[in-house]
Structure 1
């Protein structure tokens, strides 16, 4: 049996504001913007290089706007990604990394992982509704 995550629904209060944030600031590609009635609208966006998209809209979820937490966006260069998002007006947290590196116990230290190890460095940002995203570095040495 094979499972594939294709779409994650992000609950937002203002579809146009969220659409502008995800396209203009974060850089997601707009795939679909479909609204057959005033009660229903689905907007599908895909992060560059991802096989999983997000959907925002009206009438597509009963979840509270801003209730998504810790959705991961994996990037090959966390430092460059953070800088790019900051330049586009996204408020991104400082970078942190797991510590101690060899036997991680749930603690973090400031900055990038000294070895740039996979899954070890993180930063966070939120959309205008407070939906939370985690940037995680993987594949830095192969990029």
Structure 2
């Protein structure tokens, strides 16, 4: 089973892992005090879920470079996207009139993705983890792991 990791970049980071059938298998937030702490944490993070083959990074800049270099040293393919790319496909225009509004809708849709994937929820997701979940779903479709968006995404 191949695994994709979606990362909502920042020192407060959202992480979402998908298996190659397009289902979410794990998600969480992480906080790194600075870039050095992030750099030191990445080797353990790569081992957190076996069979990691693809990383999608939402955002750019120095933090994206840190993730990309670390992943490429391990032979992990890297895709860099903007939030606008996945939001255009997953959120209606009325749901993304502002960044705050987009984050709120991302949290709701991420909960639906978790339910569709068979994951239990213990509480609400932080917005960074929710955005990683949706970015990962978008990436799974882009690389051919999903033929169509799950019906559950817009039900409820």
TM-score, normalised to structure 1, is 0.26
Higher radius of gyration, 1 or 2: 1
Structure with more strand by fraction? 1
TM-score scaled by structure 2? Answer: 0.25
